[in-house]
Amino acid sequence: MTYPGPPAIPDLPAPERGTEAVEQDHADAPLRVEVSGEWRRVSPKYILVDLIGEAIFALIVIAVAILWAVLFEQSWQWWVMGALLVVTALGAVFTPRRIRSIGYQLREDDLLFRRGIMWTRMVAVPYGRMQLIDINRGPVARAFGLAELKFVTASAASAIVLPGLPEDEAERLRDHLVTVAESRRTGL
């Protein structure tokens, strides 16, 4: 049994070359999709969003340690706070490289997602298996004009989150994937 094939693919931003992001000049301009096997990266602004999240975590750890010291007059919480802050600082050092490792590819039959530095995770999600494509915008990411896409399939192991996309790209990618997923499901 054959199916009519996917609908025309809307335009998405050109894939990133090297480590610099490709900025789109006009938000109303159509995006181009090239099913050429080139990786698209998340926005470099997401590095700052992630670092702000880590700074907020560090401030919470410090506040809890100070509150604990005032209420219970113990000193062991300073060691725990110090260890958590060292781990957070080490994570912040690797954040730019970790964020640059996140990417996706729109292929003919599936979306390929990768992330990770030492332990690389690559997931291929067939368009016909996508059940839900959700856009989330946290307060810090929204301030930087970023969003994340969450792809849900029947398998919990293949659910992926693509963070750090510009909001307009996230919406266009969601619309494109919903259209392609519906056409693929009807053709199954």
Residue pLDDT, tens place only, 81-121: 899 999 999 999 999 999 999 999 998 888 899 999 899 98
Sign (positive or negative) of CA dihedral 95, 101, 105, 110:
negative
What percentage of residues in the chain have a pLDDT greater than 90? 44
Whole-model pTM over 0.75: no
pLDDT of residue 76: 83
Q: Using the structure block, give the residue that is written with the tokens 């690389």.
A: 120
Residues β-bridged to residue 104? 40, 113
Do the domain assignments include residue 75? yes
The answer as to whether 12 is a domain residue is: no
User: What is the average pLDDT score of the chain?
Assistant: 80
Helices (H) and strands (E) counted in the chain, each on its own, are 4, 7
Residue range 36-63: mean pLDDT, rounded: 91
Quote the domain boundaries for residue 67: 48-96
What was the pLDDT predicted at 7?
A: 41
The answer to whether position 188 is within a domain reads: no
